[in-house]
Every structure is written in structure tokens, then in C-alpha cells.
Amino acid sequence: MSENYFKKYPSKDGYFQEYGGAYLPPVLEEEMKKINDAYFAISKSHNFISELRSIRKHYQGRPTPVYYCNRLSEKYGGRIYLKREDLNHTGAHKLNHCMGEALLAKYMGKKKLIAETGAGQHGVALATAAAYFGLECEIHMGEVDIAKEHPNVVRMKILGAKVVPVSFGLKTLKEAVDSAFEAYLKDPVNSIYCIGSVVGPHPFPMMVRDFQHIIGIEAREQFFDMTGELPDSVVACVGGGSNAMGIFSGFLEDKEVNLYGIEPAGRSLEVGENAATITLGKPGVIHGFKCYLLQNEKGEPAPVYSVASGLDYPGVGPEHSMLHDMKRVKYDYAYDKETIDAFFELSRMEGIIPALESAHAVAYALKLAKTEPKTSILVNLSGRGDKDIDFVMENWGKDYL
Ligand SMILES: *Cc1c(COP(=O)(O)O)cnc(C)c1O
């Protein structure tokens, strides 16, 4: 499946079966085509590949390890392993595609990276990549998020990025996307828009997947080296879906490996209380591409919520939408409460504080481990939880200490 699969999906015009594509105004269509052409020309070149390889090894600290959770496995019955993306430089998987996008920008002769950010994680990773390559960086962020995510705003500024406050509408992620696109359209020759997940118009879902594919390549080989077999299950959290696509893409061909994408069920499965897009959504169009979408009767994106701000997006990657229809990946969910339990459980049983996003995958893995003794489960630990500790203590500290 692998070779053929990657040749087949996406199609030339960016479709994963009916999902994906590029639903854009003509000006942007032109720019996306240029980025696509540049990606195909440059990303297969020897120089690009060897520079990216060197960055991953010497700057990011790859390969990140696969770790066997001794105490957790003993307690829950299944064998639980973690792919440690929390140990990737900047503490999450996002730098994998930001370094790739910035390297592409450099080869295209771009001077400036533009992006939006919600919680600030993508902004910090992109600002890091910009500093590495000596490129300008402009991050658009809603004023509501700026107030909420102060430490990440400071990080971006220290890294030399310009943070542009967005003060219209609800002043959160959606307006930040509009604002960043506007800025990009003013100077598409010198700047490039860098998307933060396997979402947006073609070629971004494909490029971001390809840059994240390294997680799956490493994890498959490392797991096999450690155990002499492949895992029974691979589990990852799904927001836009980049960390999940990264690890799944290493195992798509291995039919005997069960793949689980875990969405945030938040407080409940009622509208506005979660961001369980594939579980509860229907096909629709958002930000220039077609995917499963949480939407109201008018087809507009519905309000979303998650305890993990990196997961609260009403859409999802087009490739995940297809893999759901194909039934190659099972999409399921974890509630806030289970997620917070898992956050403390992993911290106390293994000495690893996970990002709240990743804790959704951990929560699901613990359930699998309990129901199927001896089964082997590989969890993509997409990031570390340092960013979440104040928030967790404020809201749940008294229940756990
Ligand atoms: C942003 C983020 C996610 C969600 O993004 P995906 O594109 O779904 O991977 C998950 N984990 C961490 C640590 C993040 O920062």
C-alpha cells in the first residue's frame, strides 16, 4: 500500500478521494500552485533532503526515542510504549513541519514567514524556524488568545517574531487566519504562508504530512528493533491531525496494525462542548478545503471547545476524513475528565508530564490496555505538558493533590 498509497493520495489536484482540494479565490489559487510546483521541484532534490536530515539530527535532536512504560504497563495489563515527540526541540512535533516549510521558503527565496496561531504553539515553532534560517516572521493572533497565552507570546517575541494582535470579530483563531491571509496577499512574492497542521488548501495537507512522516518511519523501525514485531495498536490525538498523520503514515501498509485517532469529546457530545469532528461532523468546506466539519444547519463551522487548545478546530485534515471513510483508521474520543486523569497518571507513574493534547491519546491507550491484556500499544506523545501546568493546577489541582 505504502508506495502506491503515497503516489495515489493526494491526487494531482490535491484530493484524498472527495476531501481536500483548494477552494480559493483566483489570486490565492495561483500562489498555491507556485508553492506546489516549488515543493515538487525542490523537496526531491539531494540538497534539500540532506539539509533537512542534518537539521533533524543536529538541531532538533532526532530520532526521538521510543520508550517502554514499565510501571504503567504493569498496572494496566497491556504493553504501553511512547514515541517521544515531547523530546523534539521546542517540546512538540510541530517543529517537524515548521523546519520543512521554512527550508522550502528559503529555497524559494522568500524573506518572510506568515502564520496564525491559536494557543501559540504553532507560532512558537515557526518563530524558532525563522530564527534558525534568519527569516522574518509575522504571527497573527487574536487579542483574546494573546491575553490567555502570555508565555507563548513572550517566547515568540524573544525569538524575534512580530506578533500582530487581531482585534475584530471574536478575536480568536478564525479571525487570526483571516488576518494572516490578508497580510500574505499583500506581499505573496516575498512572503509565504505556513500552515500549522495537515489542513488548509492543497498542497499544505500533503506537505505537512510528508514533513511529519519522519515520526512514523522512525517509530516503526524503533519499535521493531525493541520487540521484534510491530505494535498491535498505534494511538494519536487528532486536532487538525498532523502528529497523527505523521505516525500513522509509517503503518498504513501494515494491515494488522490497528490505528486509532482520538478526538476531544470535551465536556460532552453536545454541540459547542467538544471538537470531535469526525465523530460528530459531516462533510463541508472550511479554510479552502473539504473535510469532516462540525457545522450548524447553515453549513457554517460550529463553535468548538476542548480542554487542550491545540485540538479545538471544527475541521480536520482531508486525509483523516478519507481514512475514516476507508475504515483504515478508527476515530474515537476521550473526554476532558479522562484526559486530566491520564495527565496525572503518566506524570506520576512514569515521570513524564504530557501535553493536554497528547493526554487524550494516553487516556485512550490506558483503556485499550485494560481491555486487552498483553496487547502492545504505541502512543504518539506529541508534546510535553510544561505549557499546561498552571492551567491544570488552577482548574483541577485541588482534586489531585
Ligand atoms: C498542536 C498540537 C496538537 C494538535 O495538532 P495536530 O495537527 O492534530 O497534531 C497535538 N499535540 C500537541 C502537543 C500540539 O502542540
Mutation test of ligand 1: which of 93, 198, 277, 389 has the most ligand atoms closer than 8 Å to its C-beta? Answer: 93
209 in ligand 1 pocket by Cβ < 6 Å?
no
213 Cα to the center of ligand 1, angstroms:
15
> Are 227 and 326 within one domain?
yes
What confidence category does residue 89 fall into, taking pLDDT thresholds of 50, 70 and 90? very high
Domain that holds residue 70: 63-91+213-400
Q: Are residues 314 and 369 in the same domain?
A: yes
Residues 39 and 78 in one domain: no
On the CB side of 384, CA atoms within 13 Å amount to 11
User: Same domain for 182 and 246?
Assistant: no
Atom in ligand 1 nearest the alpha carbon of residue 245? 9
Residues 117 and 220 in one domain: no
197, pLDDT greater than 70: yes
**Same domain for 149 and 225?**
no
Between the CA atoms of 180, 182, 183 and 187, what dihedral angle is there, to the nearest 10 degrees?
130
Nearest CA to ligand 1 atom 2: 310
Q: Same domain for 8 and 28?
A: yes
The pLDDT value given to residue 217: 98
Number of domains in the chain: 2
The pLDDT-based confidence of 3 (bands split at 50, 70, 90) is: low
Residue 161: which CATH number?
Answer: 3.40.50.1100
Measured in angstroms, how far is the CA atom of residue 210 from the centroid of ligand 1? 16
Report whether residue 179 contacts ligand 1, using a CB cutoff of 6 Å: no
**Could you report the per-residue pLDDT of 91-140, keeping only the tens digit for each?**
999 999 999 999 999 999 999 999 999 889 999 999 999 999 999 999 99
Nearest CA to ligand 1 atom 13: 383
Q: Is the CB of 92 under 6 A from ligand 1?
A: yes
Give the mean pLDDT of the chain: 96
Per-residue pLDDT tens for 317-357? Answer: 999 999 999 999 999 999 999 999 999 999 999 999 999 99
> Which of these ranges, 61-65, 142-146, 221-225, 343-347, has the smallest mean pLDDT?
142-146
Q: What is the pLDDT of residue 10?
A: 98
What's the rounded Cα separation, in Å, for the pair 310 and 124?
13
Q: How far is CA 116 from CA 122, 164, 279, in A?
A: 8, 9, 26
Residues 145 and 292 reside in one and the same domain: no
248 and 143 fall within a common domain: no
Q: List Cα–Cα distances, 392 to 120, 193, 229, 337, 348, in angstroms.
A: 17, 33, 37, 12, 15
| Closest ligand 1 atom to Cα of 85 | 13
| Residue 20 banded pLDDT, cuts 50, 70, 90 | very high
How distant is the alpha carbon of residue 394 from its chain centre? 26
Mark which of 205, 231, 251 sits at the end of a domain.
Answer: 205
Question: Which one is catalytic: 46, 58, 89, 93?
Answer: 93
> What residue has cell string 487579542?
143
Contacts for 220-223: CB closer than 8 Å, 24+ residues apart: 220/250, 220/251, 220/254, 222/63, 222/65, 222/66, 222/83, 223/66, 223/81, 223/378
| Upper half-sphere CA count for residue 161 (Cβ side, 13 Å) | 32
Answer with the residue of higher pLDDT: 174 or 203: 203
Alpha-carbon torsion, ordered 82, 318, 271, 379, to 10 deg: -10
Banded pLDDT at 359 (limits 50, 70, 90) = very high
pLDDT bucket at 64, cuts 50 / 70 / 90? very high
Q: Which of 154, 182, 205 is the last residue of a domain?
A: 205
Same domain, 165 and 221: no
User: Known catalytic residue: 69?
Assistant: yes
Q: Which of 179, 205, 231 is the last residue of a domain?
A: 205
The pLDDT, as a whole number, for residue 2 is 54
Take residue 338 and report the three cell numbers written for it. Answer: 479522562
From the list 46, 58, 69, 194, the catalytic residue is 69
Q: Which of 88, 243, 319, 360 for mutating ligand 1's site (highest number of atoms within 8 Å of CB)?
A: 243
Q: Could you confirm whether 122 is annotated as catalytic?
A: no
**Ligand 1 pocket member 237 (CB < 6 A):** yes
Q: How far is the CA of 370 from the centre of ligand 1 (A)?
A: 26
SS (H, E, C) 197-241: CCCCCCCHHHHHHHHHHHHHHHHHHHHHHHHCCCCCEEEEECCCC
